[in-house]
Amino acid sequence: MNETLIAMRGITKFIYGSDGKPIRNTDVKILNGVDFDLAAGEVHVLVGENGAGKSTLMKILGGIIPPDAGELHIGGQKVDLLNARDAREKGIAFIHQELNLCPNLDVAHNMFLGREPRRHWVKDAATMYERSSALLQALSCDLDPRTLVARLSTAQQQIVEIAKAMSFASRVVIMDEPTASLTKREIDVLFDLIRRMRADGMGIVYISHRFEEFLEVGDRLSVLRDGRSVGGMRMSDFDPDTVIHMMAGHAIDEMYPRTHAVQDDRVLEVQGLRLTPRTPPIDLTVNRGEVVGLGGLVGSGRTELAKSIFGVRAFAGGQVRYLGRDTTGWSPGRLIAAGMAYLSEDRKTEGLVLGMNIRENTSLASLSSVATLGLISRRKEQTQAAGLIAQLSIVAQSAEQAVATLSGGNQQKCVLGKWLSTEPRLLILDEPTRGIDVGAKAQIHKLIDQIAGTGVAVLMISSELPELIGMSDRVYIMRAGAVVADLAAGPELTQEQVVAYSCLGER
C-alpha cells in the first residue's frame, strides 16, 4: 500500500445544546470514535445517509471545526488543526459543494486571494497571471486567468477551485458532492482531472451518493452511519446490496403509533408537476387521514416540492389540485385559509418568529380566528395559546415566554401548534423531528398520528428512515428532482429499499 497521507483515529464530536455547550451524557453523538485513512494516490469514497456524519468528519479534516476527542495524523505526525487556513497550509484542500469564489474577481485573483505575489509591497500581477496560467495548464485547462469568475460555468469554477488547491501544493483534496450541479460531459472532465491528481500521488476524499459515479472513479469506499464507521471495501469488491445494507442499518427499535385510518377522499393531487424545466413530471396524492412519507436525500427536491405545493415557489409545469380545485398560483395566505399548512424544515428562520412569544407565534397563521373586526382579542388569543400548551405538552413558564428561550422540541411544538390553530385539512411536515430530543420526538410522532386520526391528510418529509417507514402509510422516494418510487409503507418496507431508491433510483 502507498504512503499514508491522513490517519484519523477515534474522532468524536458531541451534539451541542441550544446553550452552545456539548451534551456529553448521551449515546447520541454526531461522530462516535470514527477512524478514517487516506493513502497517496487513492480516491477514497465516503458514503452515508443524511446526517450520518460525513460532512462533520470532513469539516474536522478541513480544520473548519475541531473534534471533541480523537487524533489526526498528517503524514505520520499528530497535528491539531487550528482553522481552515492552517489545514490548507498543511496540504489539505476542501472543495465545498457551494463554491467559494468571488464572482467579481478574475480567475487569477481568486486563486491567489489574500496571498497575491508581491514585489516591493506592490501586487505583482505579471507573476500572478503567469503562475495561475501554469497551474491551469497543468490541469490541461485552457482557461484564461483573466476571465471574470462570474462568466464561468459551475464546472469551470470547480476547476478553478482545484487549481487553487494545487497552488497550495495540497496533497489531500476533499470533494463534497462535486458532481451535484454538473452535466455528464463536465463530470467526465472532472473525473479525468481526479485521475490525473491520483496519478500525481495525491489523495482524494470523494463524498457522493451517486453509486454509478463513484464506482467509476473511486478506489476504496467507507460507510458512515449514525456517526460511526460501519465498514468499507475496495471498489473491486463493491456490491451495492452490502453497501445499502450498511448505510441503512438494522431493526427499527422504536415503536410508532398507528391509530389513524386512511379514508377514500382525495385531499391533494399533484399532477405532472415539474420542479424545473429539466426535471421530469411528478405525480403524488394524499388522502384524508393518510400519512404519506416523502423520502430521498437532502437536495433531491423534497422541500422544493413541498414549497411548490404551498405556493411559495414557482414551478415549471403541471398543477396542484387541492380539495378538488386547481390551486396553482395561490398565495400561502389563501392556501392557509383553505386549510393547507406547511411546517418548514428550518424552524428558526421559517417556522418561528424568534422575537415573539409563544402566544404570538401560535396565533400568527390564524389571527382572524382570534380577532373581531380586525382587532385581536387578547383573551381569545390567550385561551388558544393555553389550550395548545396543554394539548402539546409545551414546557414553558407561560404563553408570554419568548420562543427563542425554548428548547428545540418545545419550539417545534409551537410551530405545530401554530398550524393546528388553523384547523388544517392538509398538513405538510418538513423534517418534523429534526434536531429535537428523543422524548419530544416520540410526542410529536404521537401527535402526527392523532392529527391524521381526525381526518387530516399528512405529507411528511423525513430523512430519518425509521420515522419515514414507521409513521407513513405510503412512501414516495425522490431523487434528482423526480419521484422514483411510490411504495406501500409498513413493516414489510425495508430501509434498504428506501436507500436503494434514494441513491440508485431503482431497486
Partner 1 sequence: MAKGAKRPFGAVPGRMAAWIGRHVSFFIFAVLAVLATLCVRNFAARDNLVIILKQSAIPAVACIGMTMVLMTGGIDLSLGYIVGLASIIAGILAKTLLLPVPEVVLAVLLVGALIGLANGLITQYLRVPAFIATLGSGYVIYGLAQIVSQGSIVNRLPKGFLAIGRTDVLGLPSAVFIAAGVALGFHILISRAIFGRQLRAFGFSPKAAALSGVPTARINVLVYAISGTLAALAGLLFTIRVNAAQPNMGGGVFTFEVVTAAIVGGTSLFGGIGSVAGSILGVLSIKIIENCINLLGVSYHLYLAVQGAIILVAIIVGNLTHHRA
Which residue, 82 or 367, is less far from partner 1 as judged by CB? 367
Which residue, 95 or 352, is less far from partner 1 as judged by CB? 352
* Number of C-beta neighbours around residue 258 at 10 A: 17
Q: By CB under 8 A, name the one of 10, 280, 324, 333 that touches partner 1.
A: 333
Q: Strand runs (DSSP E) across 411-496, as ranges? A: 426-430, 457-461, 474-479, 482-488
Q: How far is the CB of 358 from partner 1 (least distance, A)?
A: 14
Q: What share of the chain is helix, strand, coil (3-state, %, to 5)?
A: 35, 25, 40
Q: How far is the CB of 404 from partner 1 (least distance, A)?
A: 7
End-to-end Cα, the chain, rounded Å: 35
395 binds partner 1 (CB under 8 A): yes
Region 408-467 residues binding partner 1, contact defined as CB under 8 A: 418
Which residue, 196 or 313, is less far from partner 1 as judged by CB? 313
Q: How far is the CB of 450 from partner 1 (least distance, A)?
A: 23
* Span interacting with partner 1, options 33-41, 100-108, 111-119, 336-344, rule CB under 8 A: 336-344
Q: By CB under 8 A, name the one of 364, 386, 482, 504 that touches partner 1.
A: 364
312 binds partner 1 (CB under 8 A): yes
Which residue, 69 or 404, is less far from partner 1 as judged by CB? 404
Number of residues binding to partner 1, judged by CB under 8 A:
32
Number of H helices, E strands in the chain: 16, 25
336 binds partner 1 (CB under 8 A): yes
Which residue, 153 or 331, is less far from partner 1 as judged by CB? 331
Which residue, 260 or 418, is less far from partner 1 as judged by CB? 418
Region 119-158 residues binding partner 1, contact defined as CB under 8 A: none
The C-alpha atoms of residue 229 and residue 62 are separated, in whole angstroms, by: 19
Q: By CB under 8 A, name the one of 84, 125, 141, 371 that touches partner 1.
A: 371
Binding mask 339-358 toward partner 1 (x if CB under 8 A, else -) reads: ---x-x----xxxxxxxx--
Residues 6+ apart with CB under 8 A from 3: 39, 40, 75
310 binds partner 1 (CB under 8 A): yes
Instruction: Give CA 196 to chain center in angstroms.
Output: 30
314 binds partner 1 (CB under 8 A): no
Task: Report the DSSP beta bridge partners of residue 325.
Answer: 322
365 binds partner 1 (CB under 8 A): yes
* Span interacting with partner 1, options 78-86, 175-183, 362-370, 482-490, rule CB under 8 A: 362-370
Which residue, 202 or 458, is less far from partner 1 as judged by CB? 458
* Span interacting with partner 1, options 34-42, 100-108, 255-263, 359-367, rule CB under 8 A: 359-367
* Span interacting with partner 1, options 5-13, 58-66, 367-375, 472-480, rule CB under 8 A: 367-375
CB 361 within 8 A of CB 463: no
The C-alpha atoms of residue 390 and residue 9 are separated, in whole angstroms, by: 47
Which residue, 277 or 374, is less far from partner 1 as judged by CB? 374
Q: By CB under 8 A, name the one of 23, 134, 215, 367 that touches partner 1.
A: 367
Look-up of cell digits 425554548: 406
The C-alpha atoms of residue 407 and residue 437 are separated, in whole angstroms, by: 9
CB 334 within 8 A of CB 313: no
Q: By CB under 8 A, name the one of 375, 390, 492, 506 that touches partner 1.
A: 375
Residue 79: Cβ-neighbour burial (10 angstroms; 0-12, 13-18, 19+): middle
The C-alpha atoms of residue 113 and residue 152 are separated, in whole angstroms, by: 17
* The total number of residues written for the chain in this structure: 507
Give me 50's grid cell.
443524511
* Number of C-beta neighbours around residue 276 at 10 A: 11
CB 463 within 8 A of CB 293: no
CB 291 within 8 A of CB 451: no
- Give me the residues that bind partner 1 (CB under 8 A), please: 310, 312, 331-333, 335-337, 342, 344, 349-356, 360, 363-365, 367-368, 371, 374-376, 395, 397, 404, 418
